[in-house]
Amino acid sequence: MILVSSCSKSNSKKLTQLESAKSVTNDLIIDTIITLSEKYNYLKLNQTFSEKEAENTLYEYFKRKNILPQLFVKGDMSENEEQLFVDFDTIYRFPSNKSLAIITYWLAPAYLNGHCVQSKRAIISHSDKKLIVTNEEFIPERFLIDSINKSSIIFISDYDCSNNKVTKKYRLKIK
Give whichever of 37-46, 53-62, 162-171 has the largest mean pLDDT. Answer: 53-62
Q: Are residues 53 and 99 in the same domain?
A: yes
Q: What is the pLDDT of residue 9?
A: 37
Say whether both 44 and 108 belong to one domain.
Answer: yes
pLDDT number for residue 46 = 67
Query: Do 92 and 163 have their domain in common?
Result: no
Q: Establish if 28 belongs to a structural domain.
A: yes
Same domain? 93 vs 158: no
User: What is the Cα–Cα distance from 85 to 111, expressed in whole angstroms?
Assistant: 10
Rounded to an integer, the average pLDDT of 41-53 is: 74
Q: Are residues 125 and 66 in the same domain?
A: yes
Provide the residue count of the chain. 175
Q: Count of CB atoms within 10 A of residue 154's CB?
A: 21
Does the reported pTM lie above 0.85?
Answer: no
Contacts of 76 (CB under 8 A, 6+ apart): none
Same structural domain for residues 58 and 89? yes
pLDDT at 100 over 80: yes
Separation CA 11–CA 27 (nearest Å): 7
Within-domain flag for 132: yes
Pair 64, 26 in one domain: no
Hey, how many other C-beta atoms are within 10 angstroms of the C-beta on 139?
22
Mean pLDDT score, 79-104: 86
- Domain for residue 76, yes or no? no
Same domain, yes or no, for 87 and 114? yes
Please report whether residue 144 resides in a domain: no
In a domain, 142, yes or no: no
Structural domains counted in the chain: 2
Domain containing 127: what range? 39-70+81-137
**Average pLDDT taken over every residue of the chain:** 77
Is residue 170 assigned to a domain? yes
Q: Residue 128 falls within a domain, yes or no?
A: yes
Supply the DSSP string of 154-175, one letter for each residue: EEEEEEEGGGTEEEEEEEEEE-
Within 10 Å of residue 43's Cβ, how many Cβ atoms?
11
Q: Is residue 111 part of a domain?
A: yes
In terms of DSSP bridges, do strands 165-174 and 68-69 run parallel, antiparallel, or are they unpaired?
unpaired
Give the pLDDT confidence of 17-38 residue by residue, as tens digits: 333 333 444 467 777 777 665 5
Average pLDDT rounded to a whole number, residues 55-65? 95
Q: Tell me the per-residue pLDDT of 120-170, one tens digit each, with 9 for 90 and over.
A: 999 998 877 789 998 887 888 889 999 999 888 999 999 998 898 999 999
Same domain, 53 and 28: no
Q: Could you tell me how far CA 94 lies from the centroid of its own chain?
A: 13
Higher-confidence residue: 104 or 30?
A: 104
* 68 vs 60, more confident: 60
